[in-house]
């Protein structure tokens, strides 16, 4: 076998240009597959980690996935609110460790305004880390605002700048009598918080005092200095993130909330809702993987075609091998070994390039998109994938191998 390996190696080396191009094509196809798989796993892990701050999300009755998207990822529009009294009842429940209210609906230059309490910055975690401030701190006064890193960078905002909030997501109706002061800028987290504007619930209540049913009341204008504390207690919120004292009670607490008599409330387990969402889009993953497998198969088929073409041009080489005592079976094995060597070399090169790409791209992806690629080439999944590549290379390599075997039989030696 050692002699056959040596013969296969020197045979490939004698055709180094064509073999190099074949190895390059196979390596790139493997990198394509590994990159998609790696990105998929990392993105999924990031999404799930961002949704793990609380044990439950509460909102008015609607779809679980819909509520998850607008409360956690700020995608979509809330359909209804829950009463502040209901939230306080839940917050004061003995099983609740903490509860953070969320109120949505306003915007500033297409960036969403996120009404909440200062506890949001102390309790909520992104990728298992608490939110950190790049400059300033959370809101102290009613009309203080905290902005995400991308908001500050895109709009060139700095501390103490004044901003005006608009009613609705794309509305031209501005709360121009209530300017907000930027009191804090969050550090880049690579999550949706980078594109949010945080205000206090009291501030949202204040700027909507002269609004009713989504419309500004005519000839009514509130004075920011005329409010007292009792005036600014919210009447409604969009939802809340709940943390329980014990995870054992999650399902029981969820069932109890669904039986809440004062108003229809739903409780969502973020991880389960996100799993359902991932299952909905899983067909896209399957299509991508089918395309990748097809690309790899076509590339390996091209490798077989290259070896097959060379077999027809290697009559003298085959005849010489037969003269020195090589059997038709040995010729067959040499051609199979050539295919295996090409696939093994391609796998090794793809692993090295993937590790290099991870080193280069990880800082960028982590900072800009919050996705940290974790490439483990020794994982069971990757080992099975590499073995399947080798197996496919053997199967497609049977075509030129049988051709070489037949030529050696017909050589007359």
- Number of structural domains (the chain) is 2
Q: Mark whether 296 and 182 lie in a shared domain.
A: no
Determine contact, residues 393/303, Cβ cutoff 8 Å.
Answer: yes
Q: Mark whether 164 and 213 lie in a shared domain.
A: yes
Q: Is the pLDDT of residue 156 over 60?
A: yes
Contacts of 368 (CB under 8 A, 6+ apart): 190
CA distance 350 to 28: 7
DSSP string, 179-223: -EEEEEEEPP-SSGGGGEEEEEHHHHHHHTTTEETTEEPTT----
Tokens for 340, please give them.
Answer: 């295996």
Q: Mark whether 9 and 80 lie in a shared domain.
A: no
The domain boundary, picked from 280, 315, 342, lies at 280
Q: Mark whether 59 and 115 lie in a shared domain.
A: yes
Q: Mark whether 252 and 381 lie in a shared domain.
A: no
Q: Is the pLDDT of residue 140 over 70?
A: yes
pLDDT of residue 116: 93
Q: Mark whether 261 and 399 lie in a shared domain.
A: no
Structural domain span for residue 188: 53-280
The domain boundary, picked from 246, 280, 314, lies at 280
Q: Mark whether 262 and 309 lie in a shared domain.
A: no
Confidence of residue 2 (pLDDT cuts 50, 70, 90): confident
Q: Mark whether 170 and 307 lie in a shared domain.
A: no
Tokens for 196, please give them.
Answer: 């949010």
Q: Is the pLDDT of residue 39 over 70?
A: yes
Q: Mark whether 91 and 109 lie in a shared domain.
A: yes
Mean pLDDT of 93-102: 93
Cα first-last separation, the chain? 22
CA distance 143 to 176: 12
pLDDT of residue 75: 83
CA distance 13 to 9: 6
pLDDT tens digit string along 18-31? Answer: 888 888 888 888 88
pLDDT tens digit string along 303-312? Answer: 777 777 776 6
Q: Mark whether 166 and 180 lie in a shared domain.
A: yes
Confidence of residue 214 (pLDDT cuts 50, 70, 90): very low
Per-residue burial over 346-359, b = 16 or more CB atoms within 10 Å of its CB, e = otherwise = bbebbbebbeebbe
Q: Is the pLDDT of residue 215 over 50?
A: no
The residues with which 265 forms a beta bridge, in sequence order, are 60
DSSP string, 258-296: HT-SSS-EEEE-HHHHHHHHHHHTHHHHHHHHHHHHHHH
User: For residue 270, which of 30, 23, 58 has the smallest C-alpha distance?
Assistant: 58
Q: Mark whether 368 and 321 lie in a shared domain.
A: yes
Q: Mark whether 118 and 237 lie in a shared domain.
A: yes
The domain boundary, picked from 238, 261, 280, lies at 280
């Amino acid at each position: 076998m050692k002699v056959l390996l040596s013969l296969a190696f020197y045979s490939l080396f004698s055709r180094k240009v064509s073999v190099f191009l074949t190895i390059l094509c196979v390596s790139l196809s493997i990198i394509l597959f590994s990159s998609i798989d790696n990105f998929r796993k990392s993105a999924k892990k990031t999404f799930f980690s961002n949704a793990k701050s609380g044990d439950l999300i509460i909102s008015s009755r609607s779809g679980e996935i819909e509520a998850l998207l607008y409360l956690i990822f700020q995608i979509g529009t809330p359909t209804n609110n829950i009463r502040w009294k209901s939230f306080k009842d839940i917050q004061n429940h003995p099983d609740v460790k903490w509860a953070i209210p969320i109120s949505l609906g306003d915007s500033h230059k297409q960036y969403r305004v996120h009404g909440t309490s200062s506890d949001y910055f102390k309790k909520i975690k992104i990728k298992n880390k608490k939110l950190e401030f790049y400059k300033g701190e959370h809101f102290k006064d009613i009309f203080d605002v905290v902005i995400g890193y991308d908001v500050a960078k895109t709009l060139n905002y700095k501390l103490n700048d004044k901003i005006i909030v608009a009613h609705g997501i794309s509305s031209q109706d501005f709360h121009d009598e209530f300017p907000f002061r930027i009191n804090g800028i969050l550090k880049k987290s690579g999550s949706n918080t980078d594109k949010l504007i945080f205000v206090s619930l009291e501030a949202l209540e204040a700027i909507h005092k002269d609004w009713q049913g989504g419309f500004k009341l005519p000839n009514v204008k509130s004075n920011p200095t005329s409010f007292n504390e009792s005036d600014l207690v919210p009447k409604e919120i969009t939802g809340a993130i709940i943390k329980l004292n014990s995870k054992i009670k999650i399902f029981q607490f969820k069932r109890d909330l669904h039986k809440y008599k004062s108003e229809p409330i739903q409780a969502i387990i973020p991880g389960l809702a996100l799993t359902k969402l991932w299952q909905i889009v899983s067909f896209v993953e399957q299509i991508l993987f089918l395309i990748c497998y097809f690309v790899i198969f076509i590339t390996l088929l091209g490798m077989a075609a290259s070896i097959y073409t060379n077999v027809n041009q290697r009559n003298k080489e085959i005849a010489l091998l037969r003269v020195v005592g090589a059997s038709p079976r040995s010729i067959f094995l040499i051609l199979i070994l050539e295919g295996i060597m090409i696939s093994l070399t391609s796998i090794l090169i793809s692993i090295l390039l993937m590790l290099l790409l991870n080193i280069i791209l990880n800082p960028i992806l982590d900072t800009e998109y919050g996705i940290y690629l974790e490439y483990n080439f020794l994982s069971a999944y990757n080992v099975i994938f590499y073995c399947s590549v080798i197996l496919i290379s053997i199967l497609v390599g049977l075509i030129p191998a049988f051709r070489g075997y037949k030529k050696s039989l017909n050589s007359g030696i």
